[in-house]
A = this chain, B = another copy of it.
């Protein structure tokens, strides 16, 4: 049985607590949060504290808190033994003080409390410093998810850049979509299924093979026609992305 103390009360803490509950080999022995926010969302049978000095003994301490709070909370955890891991995709392992046995347990998904998601389907990127800790964290991660990847801080940094394209930038394409729809009084609903299908398609195809549209076809007439209908930043984005797509697909 792996004993875990979970620190946090937000999106990631919520989903981790829920997932740990349904495992057989993980015991969530305590939860800490500064103000016990969202208390009603968590299983009330899990002991909770708002005092870092009352943290119980455990095998793994999971910091599911904001990036900027990690260093501060660490300073009040000097007394703990066991493996201390944070859950941030953006922070290096080094943000945890070197006096700890330390690691990273990063669920690669945009999680929110009001969303039903099975963590088993969420990939976890893990990092540790010793073989013993690697085995321990791997064991925990495998209880939580079917998809566990070892990734050091350098690679996780690149993963974070890739995730900006995968999530932030693609979502902004949908914002542009909606803006164009609004401007011309076209219901955005008409494009929602296409958006969903775009994401679905790359679950089994490589994005390079799923690409369609005027830029891939080098259809300069349509590109010009579209550019004439756009202005400002939308026009710049259309121009740059069409050029990048055209470059990616050499004329056959």
Residues from chain B with a CB closer than 8 A to the CB of A216 are: 168
Copies in the complex: 2
Contact assessment for B199 and A200 in the assembled complex, using a CB-CB cutoff below 8 Å: yes
> How many angstroms from the CA of A181 to the CA of B159 in the assembled complex?
7
Chain B, Cβ-Cβ closest to A216: B168
Since A158-B183, A167-B212 are in contact, a sample of 11 more A-B pairs with Cβ atoms closer than 8 Å, ordered by chain A residue number, is A108-B190, A110-B201, A147-B190, A159-B184, A160-B226, A161-B180, A164-B238, A168-B211, A171-B207, A171-B210, A177-B207
For the complex, is A166 an interface residue (Cβ under 8 Å from B)? yes
Residues from chain B with a CB closer than 8 A to the CB of A110 are: 194, 197-198, 201, 212
Encode A179-210 as 1/0 by CB contact (under 8 A) with B.
01101111111111111111111110011101
> How many angstroms from the CA of A174 to the CA of B170 in the assembled complex?
8
Which of A121, A164, A184, A207 has most chain B Cβ within 10 Å? Answer: A164
Chain B, Cβ-Cβ closest to A185: B155
For the complex, is A175 an interface residue (Cβ under 8 Å from B)? yes
Rounded to whole Å, the gap between the CB of A155 and the closest CB of chain B is 6
Contact assessment for A172 and B244 in the assembled complex, using a CB-CB cutoff below 8 Å: yes
Q: How many residues of A contact B (CB 8 A)?
A: 85
For the complex, is A143 an interface residue (Cβ under 8 Å from B)? no
Q: Which residues from 137 to 172 on chain A have a C-beta closer than 8 Å to any C-beta of chain B?
A: 147, 149, 151, 155, 157-172
Residues from chain B with a CB closer than 8 A to the CB of A213 are: 164, 167-168
Residues of chain A having any CB pair with chain B under 8 Å: 90, 108-110, 115, 117, 121-123, 125, 147, 149, 151, 155, 157-178, 180-181, 183-203, 206-208, 210-216, 222, 225-226, 229-230, 233, 236-238, 240-241, 243-245, 247-248
Residues from chain B with a CB closer than 8 A to the CB of A117 are: 197
> How many angstroms from the CA of A212 to the CA of B166 in the assembled complex?
12
Contact assessment for B199 and A169 in the assembled complex, using a CB-CB cutoff below 8 Å: no
